[in-house]
Chain A
Amino acid sequence: MRRALPAVLIALVVLSFARLHAAPPTIVIASKQDTEGQILAEVFAQLIEARTPYAVERKTNLGGTLLVFQALRSGSVDAYPEYTGTIDATILHGTLSFDGIRAAMEQRYGIFVSDELGFNNTYVLAMKAETARQLGIRRISDLAAHPDLRWGVTPEFLRRSDGLPGLERAYGLGTVDAVDLEKSLAYQALARGAIQVTDAYSTDGQLLRYGFVTLQDDRHFFPGYRALYLVRDGTLRAAPDLRGVLHALAGTIDDRTMTAMNARVDIARESPDEVAAQFLAQRLHVTRARAADSTFSRLMRALLRHIELTFVALLFAVLFGVPLGILAAAHAGAGRAIMKVVGTLQTVPSIALLALMIPLFGIGVLPAVVALVLYGLLPIVANTLAGLRQIPSELLDAAEGIGLSPRQALAWVRLPLALPFILAGVRTSAVIAVGTATIAALIGAGGLGDFILTGLTLNDPATLLLGAVPAALLAIVVDELVYRLGLLVRPRGLDRA
């Protein structure tokens, strides 16, 4: 029995590595965390499933432009929806035409820029339909004649040069009477009449909900944020049928269609998945190749993934942490260095640590596990060190004096006596792992974090709780489990001394 334990551990390690490296021959479609991105990713994914033989894997909660673009470059992701304005400002740092963008992305990164989907999700100005009609305002230039109007804008819009200051100059509005307001508050204020003008994104579903009208940017002040898909050249070569899919989607989604789809997700609480399916059915007469998974089965998958992430990470944290603690106890110099490094790792915000993993390991389970392991090291190393240090010196002398070798003294005396401390460290580490694993979804590792992030993005408490409650329960269960496991392996004599 005792001899079997190392073998089982080794098998677990090998299996977990094998799993991490099993790259399925599928197209990985990603998106950032916004509603629109998730709908567009679903549209692309479902059309691929309907019209090509390829399988699709979705990673639709990635944390930000730089992160998802890195993932695309490194090949962890094959395609994701993006905007011309974002590519210009964040990726290429220029002001290029569409053809310029396409050429630059091809040359610099080997990434194909699809044709535009049709809509432009840029800044717009919104007003109550009634007010606009009474005052006869249809275009932004019409506002010059109404300096008495009260504006409520987001802080970002108030300060950015491509926001209000630039707009005032371009349209000769003078200095308008503007206060800064958080977006949802601004919409409410506009609806109640406390303000008359606000900034918005042109495809924001909330515009439909309130029935606001948007003003035409007749002097073309706002840069274009025209949606398209970025696809790796390598993916297109390996999966040539994707070109047909991209071609079929070109120009199919105008501002109104996109706004309506966003509204159905943000306001009517439909899932991006259903909304995309209906769009494809109506517009391209595509019937769904794959039935949508039930929420329950998605939740179960997420839970299993979460457990997998937690335990694989914990296993490696123990495998590395305990020897590091032993090393730290053996040499004072090494000890200080190890504690410094491990302690510093702990102070790195988990989101930053996850982001740092991307250039090294891409996205998905592997970088998440590596980050979780690094994160979980401190309690285990520190407790192993503390456990070894608290052993009375007379017992160390006894072990040495009766003739145990250093290895026998470590295995038979020092580690068993330090075990209660080490187990407490493992317990802390396990709970940290469960918690940190919820943000692993940001780098495409899945888990319960997917529900939490989706809930946050869509402002949907039910979905959020669907992830958060099991995560909290899991933390409690894991804590209890590790505690009980500890009681089993804890040397009996230690309870009596």
Chain B
Amino acid sequence: MSAAIRFEGVTKRFGALAALQDVTLDVEDGELLVVIGRSGSGKTTLLRCVNALEIPDAGRVVVEGQPISGSDLIALRRRIGYVIQSGGLFAHMTVEQNVGILGRAAGDAPARRAARAAEVLATVGLADFGPRYPGELSGGQRQRVGIARALYADPQIMLLDEPFAALDPVTRMELQDEFKRLRRELRKTMLFVTHDVEEALYLGDRIAVFDGGSLLQLETPAELKQHPATDYIARFLRRREQDMQ
């Protein structure tokens, strides 16, 4: 199996701070790789290196066999679905316009855009929400519209930055279930950021644990549960065990 995304010794600094430190990591084709770590550990920065919103200071990122270079970043980004941490919906556009914006950029006919937008909105369970504005949606609905927008161009790779953050536990569980179903339908490569261990264990094919910009552990959920290498995970698992008793 070839790597869909390959990080080769990637370092990214903001001034004196190293947000990513010599990260080497392969995301396999069709895999859902969860990136977990405490706040500020570099998860978002890792994601932004894939669609070239950040350019590494050292090392390189290879997407589908092609190293990211300065040329034609726009084409690269359109091949990668991007779900932004806070939703990132455009308030002046309807849900349908938000979802179809890449169709507009690609010059799709309006009818084709509307049809495709309806299709992906149905996929995330928001079939009738096309005419609404983001301001008229709940937080969970907005997050789902963000996912629908990323699905529009049917990208082989998706980057999801805490898509279910800031939701009540029950809604989050519903969305996670829905997402799991969706994932079985669409065999895409996904890089999924969260700081919720439960979510990571539930959704991930493999889990990459980050701390202070470094990759500390890369395991399947089962392995991770067996021998957590970080205090972060270990403490969480201990706590859960206590609860179950």
What residues make up the interface of A, taking CB atoms closer than 8 Å to B? 394-395, 397-405, 408, 412-413, 416-417, 419, 491-497
Contact = CB atoms under 8 A, between A and B. Distances in A.
Given A403-B77, A417-B92, A394 B105 contact: no
Given A397-B84, A416-B92, 16 more contacts: A398-B84, A400-B77, A401-B51, A401-B53, A402-B78, A403-B51, A403-B77, A403-B78, A403-B105, A405-B74, A412-B93, A417-B91, A491-B93, A494-B92, A497-B91, A497-B135
Interface in B98-129: 101-102, 104-105
A416 B133 CA distance: 14
Contacts of A401: 48, 51, 53, 77, 82, 84, 88
Contacts of B89: 398
B105 A404 contact: yes
Contacts of A400: 53, 77
A496 B82 contact: no
Given A395-B90, A403-B78, A497-B91, A492 B133 contact: yes
Interface string B192-209: 000000000000000000
Given A493-B133, A496-B136, A497-B135, A402 B91 contact: no
Contacts of A497: 91, 133-135
Contacts of A404: 74, 101, 105
Given A404-B101, A496-B135, A417 B90 contact: yes
Contacts of B104: 412
A405 B91 contact: no
Nearest to B50: A401
Contacts of A494: 91-92
Nearest to B133: A493
B53 A398 contact: no
Nearest to A400: B53
A413 B88 contact: no
Contacts of A395: 88, 90
A493 B105 contact: no
B94 to A, nearest CB: 7
Nearest to A416: B92
A401 B85 CA distance: 12
Contacts, number: 83
Interface string B39-61: 00000000010010100000000
Contacts of B105: 403-405, 408
Contact of A491 (B74, B78, B92, B101): B92
Nearest to A405: B74
28 contacts: A394-B86, A395-B88, A397-B53, A397-B88, A398-B82, A398-B89, A398-B90, A399-B90, A401-B48, A401-B77, A401-B82, A402-B82, A403-B51, A403-B80, A403-B102, A403-B105, A404-B74, A412-B90, A412-B93, A416-B93, A417-B90, A417-B92, A419-B92, A493-B91, A493-B93, A495-B135, A497-B133, A497-B135
Contacts of B136: 496
Interface residues of B, number: 31
A412 B82 CA distance: 18
**CB-based closest 3 A-B pairs:** A496-B135, A398-B88, A491-B92
B150 interface: yes
Contacts of A394: 84-86, 88
A389 B72 CA distance: 26
Contacts of B81: 402
Nearest to B94: A493
Contacts of B133: 492-493, 496-497
Nearest to A493: B133
Contacts of B144: none
A394 B91 CA distance: 12
Contacts of A496: 91, 133, 135-136
Contacts of B88: 394-395, 397-398, 401
A395 B149 CA distance: 14
Nearest to A402: B82
A493 B82 contact: no
Contacts of A398: 82, 84, 88-90
Nearest to A408: B105
A402 B99 CA distance: 11
Nearest to B79: A403
A497 B104 CA distance: 23
B101 A412 contact: yes
Nearest to B137: A496
A80 B103 CA distance: 66
Contacts of B134: 493, 497
A404 to B, nearest CB: 6
A494 B53 CA distance: 27
Contacts of B84: 394, 397-398, 401
Contacts of B51: 401, 403
- Residue of A398, A405, A417, A494 with most partner-chain B CB within 10 A: A398
A413 B135 contact: no
B74 A403 contact: yes
Contacts of A408: 105
Contacts of A419: 92
A399 B90 CA distance: 9
Contacts of B82: 398, 401-402
Q: Which of A399, A402, A492 has the most CB of B within 10 A?
A: A402
A402 B145 CA distance: 14
Contacts of B102: 402-403
A413 B93 CA distance: 9
Contacts of A397: 53, 84, 88
Contacts of B76: 403
B182 to A, nearest CB: 19
A20 B71 CA distance: 48
A393 to B, nearest CB: 10
A408 to B, nearest CB: 6
A413 B76 CA distance: 20
B113 to A, nearest CB: 13
B223 to A, nearest CB: 32
Contacts of B75: 403
